[in-house]
Each structure stands twice: as structure tokens, then as C-alpha cells.
Structure 1
């Protein structure tokens, strides 16, 4: 089967969609993805879910542990683990 330079597979479209999300897709890749999105409902659905996930992650107000808190928690975990071995 001959591979077309303009039409891409669903898997390749998903990969380009991920790259586009992070600003790593080239202009030619975006053109090919746009063509694929125009007729493939599966790729459109993947792209929509990907965009929603990106929005949610950007809006999330996540508080991470500070380094000293993480070290303390890890030390406690290792102590408890050593007790049960």
C-alpha cells in the first residue's frame, strides 16, 4: 500500500494533535491534521478531548508539596516500610 503525503493515519493524526497542543507541530503537520479533522470523526473527538484536558489542567489550582515536606513524607514512608519487612 502506497503512503500518501497528504493523507495521514489516525495514529499519526493523534500524534500531531499532541504535538500541536504543546506548540511543537510544524505548519505542514497542522495542514495535514486539519485535512484529517475535516472528515474523521474519531480524530475530531480525540482533538476535542485533548483540548478539554488542556483547559482543565491549565485552570487547575494544584498545590504541590514543598521539597522539605516531600522529604519528610518520604522518610516516614521508608520507616513504616522498614517496620513491615
Structure 2
């Protein structure tokens, strides 16, 4: 395995690390890449924040009934907008 990876591979390895599927060497590759690539470093930082937020016990999933209500409201609005566009 190469010591330095391209941005696409670094992003993939970063994602693997987020789900705790990356090996030690893969994590090391991401770290080395992030030293020289600001874009990927920012991506890794945002990924880490997201992971931390999702692991927070205060983070809860939206109830299904709420999702259904939002979906139905969106569908009504889209249908209304579509009907207004017809001549």
C-alpha cells in the first residue's frame, strides 16, 4: 500500500475511519494526506464533528409520524405548484 494517496482515496479512507472500519495504516494514510491537502483536512474535520454529534446521546431520530407529515405536506405543495404552472 502506498504511503501517500490521492484525494479520492483519502476521502474514502476518511469515511471508513468515521465508521471505524479503517485499519491503522489507512488512518495513517489519511493523516499524512491531510498534512498536505487543506481541502481533505477540512473534510476530515467535518466528518469528525458529524461523528461526534451523531454519537451524542441527545441526538435523536425524527419520529416516523413526523417524517410522514412533512412528506405529505411537501407533496401537497409540489402538486399545488405544479397545478399553478399549467395554463
Q: TM-score, normalised by structure 1?
A: 0.64
Structure 2 counterpart of 1:64: 63
CA distance in 1, matches of 2:61, 2:23: 31
The TM-score normalised by the length of structure 2 is 0.63
Instruction: Compute the displacement of 1:63 (Å).
Output: 4.4
Distance (whole Å) between structure 2 residues aligned to residue 56 and residue 18 of structure 1: 15
Unmatched tracts of structure 2, length 5 or more: 73-87
What residue number does 1:40 align with? 37
**Residue in 1 that maps onto 2:27:** 30
Match of 1:51 among 45, 48, 52: 48
After superposing on structure 2, the runs of 4+ consecutive aligned residues of structure 1 that deviate more than 4 Å are none
In the TM superposition, what whole-angstrom CA distance separates every residue of 1:22-51 from its partner, at most 9, and x where no partner exists?
A: 110011111111111112111110001111
How many residue pairs end up in the alignment?
A: 68
